[in-house]
C-alpha cells in the first residue's frame, strides 16, 4: 500500500516518535508499505512520521547514490528504535531536500561521522559508525523521528528567506507526482 506523504505543517512531523517492539501490529506489512511508498516518491529514505505514524522507524536505500559513492550500492536498511550515540566534531555542509517539504533544497551542516544504535526488521541489534552520504541520509531520517526537519538547521538568514515558501508549501502550493496529505 502506498501512503500519502505528510506535508510540512502537520503536527505528526513535530512529535518525538515512540519506540516499538517486535509485537507492533503488522510490522512486516508496514515495512513493505514504507519501501513501496519511498520508491513511488523517488526518495532515498523515508521515516514513519512522514506517513503519519509517530514511531521510531525509518528506511533508507542508498543505491541511487552509488555512482558518487560505490559503498552505497548495497546500503538498504530498516532502522528501528535508533539512537545516535556519538557524532564527530567535524561537520560538512551539503544540500538537502525532503519529501515532506517539496521543491525546497538548502545547505545543511551536519557531523561527518555518527555512531548509531538500532534494530533491523528482525530485531537484530546493531551499534555502528557511518560516514559519507550514509551518515548524511541517516541523520536526516533520524531527525524525523525526533520531530526535527532540515529547515530547522539552516542558517538564520536562510530561515528568514524560506519562511514564506514554507507557508505556501503547507497550503499545498507546489507540484509533485506523488500522493501527499496537507496539514488540516
Ligand atoms: Ni525528510
Neighbours of ion ligand 1 (CB under 5 A): 98
Q: Please identify every residue annotated as catalytic.
A: 141
CATH of the domain at 154: 3.90.45.10
pLDDT at 74: 86
pLDDT at 175: 96
pLDDT at 152: 98
Number of domains in the chain: 1
**Which pLDDT tens digit goes with each residue over 126-168?**
999 999 999 999 999 999 999 999 999 999 999 999 999 999 9
**What is the band of 72 on the pLDDT scale with cuts at 50, 70, 90?**
confident
* Ligand 1 center to 125 CA (angstroms): 24
pLDDT at 97: 97
- Whether 73 has a pLDDT exceeding 90, the answer reads no
* Ligand 1 center to 149 CA (angstroms): 7
pLDDT at 31: 98
Domain that includes residue 103, residue range: 5-181
* Ligand 1 center to 49 CA (angstroms): 10
**Which pLDDT tens digit goes with each residue over 88-137?**
999 999 999 999 999 999 999 999 999 999 999 999 999 999 999 999 99
In this prediction the pTM is: 0.96
pLDDT, average across residues 57-76: 89
* Ligand 1 center to 150 CA (angstroms): 7
Q: What percent of the chain lies above the pLDDT cut of 70?
A: 100
3-state SS of the chain is CCCCEECCCCHHHHCCCECCCCCCCCHHHHHHHHHHHHHHCCCCEEEHHHHCCCECEEEEECHHHCCCCHHHCCCEEEEEEEEEEEECCCEEEEEEEECCEEEEEEEEEEECCEEEEEECCCCCEEEEEECHHHHHHHHHHHHHHCCCCHHHHCCHHHHHHHHHHHHHHHCCCCCCCCCEECCC
* Ligand 1 center to 145 CA (angstroms): 10
Amino acid at each position: 500500500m502506498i501512503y500519502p506523504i505528510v506535508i510540512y505543517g502537520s503536527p505528526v512531523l513535530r512529535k518525538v516518535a515512540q519506540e516499538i517492539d517486535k509485537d507492533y501490529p503488522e510490522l512486516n506489512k508496514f515495512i513493505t508499505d514504507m519501501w513501496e511508498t519511498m520508491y513511488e516518491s523517488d526518495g532515498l529514505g523515508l521515516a514513519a512520521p512522514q506517513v503519519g505514524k509517530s514511531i521510531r522507524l525509518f528506511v533508507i536505500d542508498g543505491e541511487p547514490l552509488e555512482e558518487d559513492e560505490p559503498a552505497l550500492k548495497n546500503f538498504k536498511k530498516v532502522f528501528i528504535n535508533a539512537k545516535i550515540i556519538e557524532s564527530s566534531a567535524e561537520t560538512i555542509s551539503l544540500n538537502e531536500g525532503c519529501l515532506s517539504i517539496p521543491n525546497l533544497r538548502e545547505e545543511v551542516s551536519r557531523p561527518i561521522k555518527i555512531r548509531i544504535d538500532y534494530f533491523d526488521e528482525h530485531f537484530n541489534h546493531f551499534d555502528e559508525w557511518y560516514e559519507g552520504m550514509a551518515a548524511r541520509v541517516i541523520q536526516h531520517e533520524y531527525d524525523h523521528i525526533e520531530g526535527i526537519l532540515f529547515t530547522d538547521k539552516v542558517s538564520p538568514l536562510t530561515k528568514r528567506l524560506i519562511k514564506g515558501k514554507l507557508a505556501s508549501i503547507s497550503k499545498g502550493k507546489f507540484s509533485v507526482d506523488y500522493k501527499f496529505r496537507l496539514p488540516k
